[in-house]
């Protein structure tokens, strides 16, 4: 055998070196993968190695200011299938039949889904408890041998949540709704989504490559954080009043384009009610609320259809009070009044002469009242809503100052209100803001604002000169009712002095007591406000917006409100004729509900109802004494010695100087026919009713005077047979008001 | 275990001590390998065999059998092989041809086995050793032949090429690569001229070009190797899963037994890709330990070759050492995506009883050579 030579040794050593070098190179390569690419590879590896399941967080409840639940989430279930497993189990027909029947779905559609070439399909979201249980019972049904089998192999139930709105359409535009993934899509559901939604939790589970269970359990559970509960400033009762009256007004005055109303606490900016009519059902927000719109959509096909649906649904969801812009018209005169008083360019007793038009530059701008108001003081000018008076006063304020106040009152900016979609319109640019623009702007024309901007601006008048920011959220509370966050009153800025504000309020109150806003008068509640009638653009199309901007009580306002009727097509489109009476009905309900203490004037007290003494069973001789201090008159029928019955009954109320009819024999009771008084003046109505031996009660304004108003409704209606002494309630409405 | 009886007592004294350092490295690799086979195989054993210990039980049994074999071969004097070098190679070649006939047992489209039912073996595994023995003898005896290109170098290349070629026909690409590699290393160690190896380069280049022209899919596979993520669900799947495993390990790994990739992501993690699982569970340090152990093994092997009593034993040890070294390099290169994928097991680590048995027998041969080293 040959001996080993030196070359063999050398070569063996070189071989060693080559191997070592190669192995070190591979080790470096390994380190490169681990340390340079490691993080990225690890993330991808974990991605495939774990199942990540989201656990929904509970969405917060939305309450009204008194704790009534306006929106609430309930846990429901989601039905999904694994078409692959169904294919393996070969039970597609049974699954399709069962699911279609239990979930009330189209069988063909279900069958199509469960036979798709995929591993996951959602059959139905938000399945209520009962159908879910029906499915669950089939999943562990007993076969003929009494063995438990899953008849719905490949069908899965998982947790899902559903949002319920107990009041349906109430305050729909404020509350809004959520989408398929519980994300807020409109209203406070959208603007407070971050607070309401909470933070979803997760379960991370280890899985093997084929998705079956691991021999050990690895689970990481990250708890979901529930959303906060939101307490709104809305008062469900007030909201209800508002919506009720809006609905009635829209019907009564044939309002074509909906209506809106804002009611705000004038001191804190809390929105007590905000309504857009027509509303929609929050539990079914994707269905059009009008049959007409639905019919229009149904008549189209394809892209046109989806576009039409989209337009209609957006219109339905529009919160007119915040999103729509319009010309405020005469309601803006309150603002012009405030700026003129603040600038000291007018005094209450300044006199003006209205000829029915005013020449401004090349234009003759007319007053709403043909023939003009004649010679009036400033206060009378406001009461009569006289355009020339305001054009004159506006000119005295001057372009620069008017512009300054326009901005100061916040018309050039968003109010900062916490609902989505707030609009703001551009005012005349400074170079285009001339004599004529100033004149028209002074009485609220030629520019557009949102209803909410006007309410916010008026809060300076109600709030001693300081504007308050409107807001919808009161506080956030946790599930145990602890307050997490309180939303405080925010003041925007002081625009006018307290004195100016107070004077403006007085003037606006007299507009209601003496002027064009008489139809908003409520005895004892000191309503102040201004009507508005603005012609929509383009001019001359006969479309108007009738509005009323008011507050009460005038001396120390607590509630401020704005009502808009968009395109009234009834007998009248005038704010004073249709918006003011509706506003009055709304405020009457609200002020009584809020327990605002009435402050009656002496005159009001005089015409107030008085309690009827109960004299039934009394001897006729004692009757004069019983009526002595009652303020009421009486009439004795028959010649019996004792009063056997009386109309009206004791304890009811009658206007002073009414007559109570007392019967001494039952047989003497006789019925009379109620006369027809509709369209009659006050004195004529009085005469007709008292002549029929009936009593009259004038509903609403106690100070109605002849010539200004006519009876618009009566109860009981004419022709009814009623006992003598029965009270006939008659409603009067002012005519000839702006 | 019974010590084989030797005819004379004096001969027992002549049986010198083995190299214990080398033995220690072998035992460490074996132990490390068993631990990792258990860890890596547990998940697939659980899912596929319903017995977490399925693979480790078999591997352990084979390790014991292998240790016996190692002892036996450490006692058999290496000179025995010298005598049977040529006939042994001849028999191997016949077996390799038989495998290609219908007698060969075909698995997954490759005909690599011979035998019946449980008793099957791979002739290529035997051919590796018979080729090493033949080359050691022939090169030791005719070292001056290598000076000639046509008359020596090419003849040896032809012998190596025929054996490798027969294996390639099975087809068994990785086996052919290992055989070819071992042959080249032995030619080099025997003193073949550098110049002659240089002549091979253009031939190899032409061979690669030819292979790509014949089968253009190889180019696509090469691209997959360069960017395995481009074909994650196809050819790149295994490599991507291997990289996920290695990348997840970091410095110290997820901990022994904590591999997540072994949960059916990495196909047969106890086989060719066991190194990835080591990297995942024990991190860079686990990989470092593997490499250190192999470096020590190769270093000791080469050291033994350098001090071998004669040229034949020197080349024999070099050949067996190269056999281990080439497989280690190729295996780690494949799992780290440093070369195109091919199925090469990691010696001592990858699951496979006969493979482990043969390796340990090879170690026994080296140990026997150490008995003859003059101290």
pLDDT at B72 over 80: yes
Please check the confidence at residue A71 and state whether its pLDDT lies above 70.
Answer: yes
Is the pLDDT score of A588 beyond 50? yes
Measured between alpha carbons, how far is B315 from B306 in angstroms, rounded to an integer?
9
Assigned domain for B202 exists: yes
Whether B258 has its CB under 8 Å from any CB of chain A: the answer is no
Q: Mean of the pLDDT values across residues B233-259?
A: 85
Find how far residue A715's CA is from the centre of its chain.
32
Is B363 part of a structural domain of the chain? no
What CA dihedral angle connects A21, A24, A29 and A30, to 10 degrees? 150
Q: Write out residues 131-160 of B within 8 Å (CB-CB) of A.
A: 140-141, 143
Q: Which of B155, B145, B156 is nearest to B185 (CA)?
A: B156
> Between A607 and B83, whose confidence is greater?
B83
Alpha helices in A484-577 (DSSP H): 498-514
- Whether the predicted pLDDT of A327 surpasses 70: yes
Which domain covers residue B115, as residue numbers?
A: 82-347
- The two tokens of residue B316 are 């024999």
**Beta bridge pairs of residue A250:** none
The whole-number average pLDDT for the span B51-66 is 93
pLDDT tens, B270-280? 888 999 999 99
pLDDT tens sequence across A89-119: 888 888 899 889 898 889 998 898 888 877 6
Do residues A178 and A189 make contact, with C-beta atoms less than 8 angstroms apart?
yes
Average pLDDT over residues A511-535: 88
Question: Facing residues of A219 across strands?
Answer: A205
**Could you tell me if residue B366 is inside a domain?**
no
Is the per-residue pLDDT at A737 higher than 50?
yes
Give B 79-108 residues with CB within 8 A of chain A: 79, 82
At A139 the pLDDT is 85
pLDDT at A212 over 70: no
pLDDT in tens, A134-145: 888 888 877 777
Can you list the positions of beta strands (E) in chain B? Answer: 105-107, 110-116, 119-121
Angle at which helix B353-371 crosses helix B311-335, to 10 degrees, equals: 150
Q: For residue A549, what pLDDT is reported?
A: 95
Query: How confident is the model over A11-16, as a mean pLDDT?
Result: 91
Q: How far is B319 from chain A (nearest CA, A)?
A: 10
A738: pLDDT strictly greater than 60? no
Q: Could you tell me which residues are beta bridge partners of residue A276?
A: A260
State the average pLDDT over residues B164-191.
Answer: 90
Answer whether residue A36 shows pLDDT above 50.
yes
Residue B12 has pLDDT above 60, yes or no: no
The pLDDT of residue A398: 92
Residue A215 predicted with pLDDT over 70: no
pLDDT band at A88 (very low <50, low <70, confident <90, very high): confident
| pLDDT at residue A280 greater than cutoff 90 | yes
Residues 229-248 of B with CB under 8 A from A: 243-248
Position A618 pLDDT exceeds 80: yes
Nearest CA in chain A to B142: A2
DSSP letter assigned to residue A209: T
A5 touches chain B (CB under 8 A): yes
The ipTM assigned to this model is: 0.92
Per-residue pLDDT at A658 exceeds 90: no
| Average pLDDT, rounded, for chain A | 87
Minimum mean pLDDT range among A118-122, A333-337, A606-610, B17-21? A606-610
| Pairwise CA distance, residues A503 & A512, whole Å | 15
Locate the chain A residue with the closest alpha carbon to B182.
Answer: A15
* Residue A599 to residue A583: CA distance in whole angstroms: 19
Q: Residue B285's pLDDT is what?
A: 95
Looking at residue A9, its pLDDT comes to 85
Q: Mean pLDDT: which of A354-368, A529-543, B177-191 is highest?
A: B177-191
Of A279, A330, A547, A658, catalytic? A330
- Per-residue pLDDT, B262: 85
Higher pLDDT among residues A610 and B60, named by residue = B60
A4 touches B: beta carbon within 8 Å: yes
Whether residue A178 has pLDDT greater than 50: yes
Most B CBs within 10 Å: which of A20, A26, A214, as the mutation test of the B interface? A26
Least confident of A54-63, A189-198, A210-219: A210-219
Residue B29 is assigned to a structural domain of this protein? no
**How far, rounded to the nearest angstrom, does the alpha carbon of residue A485 sit from its chain's CA centroid?**
23
Whether the full predicted model's pTM is greater than 0.95, yes or no, is no
Q: Does A49 touch chain B (CB under 8 A)?
A: yes
In this structure, is residue B372 part of a structural domain? no
Q: How far is B15 from chain A (nearest CA, A)?
A: 20
- The CA distances from residue A418 to A65, A170, A449, A475, A520, in Å, are 16, 19, 17, 13, 30
Residues in B 274-333 with any Cβ partner in A closer than 8 A:
279, 283-284, 287-288, 291, 294-295, 298-299, 302, 305-306, 308-312, 314-315, 318, 322, 325, 328-329, 332-333
Tally of domains in chain B: 1
pLDDT tens for each residue of B133-160: 999 999 988 878 888 888 889 999 999 9
Residue B10: predicted pLDDT: 45
B334 Cβ under 8 Å from any chain A Cβ: no
State how beta strands A229-232 and A62-63 pair.
parallel
Query: What would the two tokens of residue A589 be?
Result: 């309900």
How close, in Å, is residue B5 to chain A by CA atoms?
Answer: 27
Alpha-carbon span A33 to B245, nearest angstrom: 10
What confidence tens digit (pLDDT) does each residue in A659-682 have?
888 888 776 667 888 888 888 887
Interface with chain B: mutation pick from A3, A8, A20, A50, highest number of B CBs within 10 Å: A8
Structure tokens at A306: 């989806």
- Partnered with residue A148 across adjacent β-strands are A142
Query: Do the chains contact at B251 and A34, CB–CB below 8 Å?
Result: yes
Identify the structural domains of chain A with CATH numbers, from first to last.
53-232 (3.90.1310.10), 322-594 (3.40.710.10), 604-734 (3.30.10.20)
A287 burial type by CB count under 10 A (0-12 exposed, 13-18 middle, 19+ buried) = exposed
Average pLDDT over residues A192-200: 90
pLDDT band at B1 (very low <50, low <70, confident <90, very high): very low
Q: Do A3 and B333 touch (CB under 8 A)?
A: no
Tell me, yes or no, if A199 comes closer than 8 A to chain B by beta carbon: no
Q: How confident is the model at residue A653 (pLDDT cuts 50, 70, 90)?
A: confident
Higher pLDDT, A75 or B10: A75
Whether the CB-CB separation of A194 and A227 falls below 8 Å is answered with no
In the stretch 157-176 of chain B, residues with CB closer than 8 A to chain A read none
Residue A49: in which H helix or E strand, if any? helix A38-49
Q: Is A330 known to be catalytic?
A: yes
**Where does the pLDDT of residue B9 fall: very low under 50, low under 70, confident under 90, or very high at 90 and above?**
very low
A56/chain B closest Cα distance in angstroms:
28
Residue A559's SS3 state is strand
pLDDT at A217: 64
Chain A to chain B, count of Cβ pairs less than 8 Å apart?
Answer: 155
* pLDDT reading at A601 higher than 90: no
Whether the predicted pLDDT of B327 surpasses 90: yes
- pLDDT for residue B250 is more than 70: yes
């Amino acid at each position: 055998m040959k001996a080993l030579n030196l070359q063999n040794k050398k070569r063996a050593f070189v071989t060693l070196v080559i191997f070592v070098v190669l192995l070190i190179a591979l080790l470096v390569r390994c380190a490169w993968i681990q340390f340079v690419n490691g993080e990225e590879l690890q993330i991808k590896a974990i991605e495939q190695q774990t199942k990540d399941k989201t656990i929904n967080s509970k969405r917060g409840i939305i309450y009204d200011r008194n704790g009534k639940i306006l929106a609430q989430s309930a846990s429901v279930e989601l039905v999904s299938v694994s078409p692959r497993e169904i294919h393996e189990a070969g039970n597609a027909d049974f699954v399709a039949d069962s699911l279609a029947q239990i979930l009330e779905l189209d069988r063909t559609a279900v069958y199509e889904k469960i036979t798709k070439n995929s591993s996951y399909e959602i059959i139905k979201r938000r399945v209520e408890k009962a159908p879910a249980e029906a499915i669950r019972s089939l999943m562990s049904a007993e076969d003929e041998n009494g063995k438990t089998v899953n008849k719905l192999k490949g069908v899965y139930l998982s947790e899902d949540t559903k949002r319920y709105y107990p009041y349906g359409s109430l305050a729909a535009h404020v509350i809004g709704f959520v989408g398929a993934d519980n994300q807020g899509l409109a209203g406070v559901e959208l603007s407070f989504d971050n607070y309401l939604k909470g933070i979803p939790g997760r379960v991370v589970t280890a899985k093997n490559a084929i998705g079956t269970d691991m021999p050990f359990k690895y689970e990481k559970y990250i708890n979901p954080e529930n959303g906060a509960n939101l307490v709104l400033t809305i008062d469900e009762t007030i909201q209800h009043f508002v919506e009720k009256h809006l609905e009635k007004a829209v019907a009564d005055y044939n309002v074509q384009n909906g209506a809106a109303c804002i009611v705000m606490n004038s001191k804190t900016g809390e929105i007590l009610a905000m309504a857009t009519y027509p509303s929609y059902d929050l539990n079914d927000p994707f269905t059009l609320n009008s049959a007409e719109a639905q019919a229009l959509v149904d008549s189209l096909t394809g892209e046109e259809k989806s576009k039409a649906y989209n337009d209609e649904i957006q219109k339905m969801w529009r919160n007119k009070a915040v999103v729509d812009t319009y010309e405020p018209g005469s309601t803006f005169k309150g603002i012009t009044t405030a700026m003129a008083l603040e600038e000291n360019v007018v005094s209450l007793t300044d006199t003006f002469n209205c000829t029915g038009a005013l020449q401004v530059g090349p234009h003759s701008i007319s007053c709403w009242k043909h023939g003009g108001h004649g010679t009036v003081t400033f206060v009378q000018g406001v009461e009569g809503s006289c355009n020339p008076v305001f054009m004159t006063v506006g000119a005295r304020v001057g372009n620069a100052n008017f512009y300054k106040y326009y901005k100061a009152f916040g018309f050039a900016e968003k109010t900062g209100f916490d609902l989505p979609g707030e609009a703001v319109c551009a005012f005349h640019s400074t170079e285009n803001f001339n004599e004529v623009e100033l004149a028209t702007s002074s009485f609220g024309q030629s520019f557009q604002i949102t209803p909410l901007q006007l309410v916010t601006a008026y809060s300076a008048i109600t709030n001693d000169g300081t504007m308050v920011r409107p807001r919808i959220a009161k506080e956030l509370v946790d599930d145990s009712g602890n307050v997490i966050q309180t939303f405080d009153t925010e003041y925007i800025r002081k625009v006018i002095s307290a004195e100016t504000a107070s004077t403006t309020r007085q003037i606006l109150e007299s507009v209601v007591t003496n002027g064009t806003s008489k139809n908003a008068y409520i005895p004892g509640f000191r309503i102040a406000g201004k009507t508005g009638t603005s012609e929509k653009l383009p001019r001359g199309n006969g479309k108007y917006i009738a509005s009323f901007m008011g507050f009460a009580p005038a001396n120390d306002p607590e509630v401020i409100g704005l009502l808009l009727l968009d395109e009234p097509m009834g007998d009248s489109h005038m704010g004073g004729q249709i918006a003011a009476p509706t506003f009055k009905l709304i405020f009457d309900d609200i002020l009584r509900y809020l327990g605002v203490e009435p402050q009656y004037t002496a005159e009001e007290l005089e015409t107030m109802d008085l309690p009827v003494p109960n004299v039934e069973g009394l001897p006729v001789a004692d009757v004069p004494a019983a009526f002595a201090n009652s303020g009421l008159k009486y009439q004795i029928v028959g010649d019996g010695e004792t009063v056997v019955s009386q109309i009206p009954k004791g304890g009811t109320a009658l206007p002073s100087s009414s007559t109570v009819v007392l019967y001494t024999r039952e047989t003497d009771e006789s019925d009379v026919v109620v006369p027809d008084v509709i369209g009659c003046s006050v004195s004529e109505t009085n005469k007709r009713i008292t002549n029929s031996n009936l009593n009259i009660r004038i509903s609403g304004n106690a100070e109605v005077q002849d010539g200004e108003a006519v009876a618009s409704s009566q109860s009981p209606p004419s022709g009814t047979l009623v006992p003598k002494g029965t009270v006939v309630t008659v409603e009067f409405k002012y005519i000839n008001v702006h | 275990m019974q010590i084989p009886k030797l005819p004379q007592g004096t001969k027992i004294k002549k049986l010198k001590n083995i190299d214990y350092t080398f033995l220690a490295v072998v035992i460490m690799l074996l132990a490390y390998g068993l631990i990792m086979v258990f860890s890596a195989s547990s998940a697939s054993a659980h899912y596929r065999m319903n017995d977490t210990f399925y693979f480790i039980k078999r591997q352990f049994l084979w390790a014991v059998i292998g240790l016996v074999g190692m002892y036996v071969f450490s006692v058999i004097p290496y000179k025995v092989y010298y005598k049977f070098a040529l006939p042994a190679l001849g028999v191997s070649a016949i077996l390799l041809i038989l495998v290609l006939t219908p007698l060969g047992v075909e698995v997954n489209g490759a005909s690599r086995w011979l035998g019946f039912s449980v008793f099957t073996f791979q002739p290529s595994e035997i051919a590796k050793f018979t080729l090493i023995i033949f080359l050691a003898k022939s090169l030791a005896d005719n070292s001056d032949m290598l000076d000639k290109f046509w008359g020596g170098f090419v003849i040896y290349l032809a012998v190596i090429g025929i054996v490798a070629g027969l294996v390639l026909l099975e087809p068994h690409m990785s086996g052919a690569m290992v055989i070819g590699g071992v042959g080249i290393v032995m030619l080099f160690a025997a003193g073949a001229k550098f110049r002659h190896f240089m002549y091979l380069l253009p031939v190899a280049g032409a061979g690669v070009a030819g292979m790509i022209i014949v089968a253009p899919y190889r180019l696509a596979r090469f691209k997959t190797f360069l960017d395995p993520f481009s074909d994650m669900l196809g050819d790149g799947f295994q490599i991507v899963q291997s990289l996920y495993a290695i990348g997840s390990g970091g410095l110290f790994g997820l901990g022994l037994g904590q591999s997540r990739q072994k949960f059916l992501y990495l196909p047969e993690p106890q086989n060719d890709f066991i190194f990835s699982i080591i990297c995942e569970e024990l991190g860079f340090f686990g990989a470092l330990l593997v490499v250190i152990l192999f470096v020590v093994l190769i270093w000791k092997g080469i050291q033994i070759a350098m001090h071998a009593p004669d040229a034949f034993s020197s080349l024999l040890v070099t050949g067996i050492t190269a056999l281990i070294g080439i497989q280690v390099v190729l295996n780690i290169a494949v799992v780290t995506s440093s070369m195109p994928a091919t199925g090469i097991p990691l010696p001592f680590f990858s699951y496979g009883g006969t493979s482990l048995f043969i390796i340990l027998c090879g170690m026994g041969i080296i140990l026997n050579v150490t008995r003859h080293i003059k101290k």
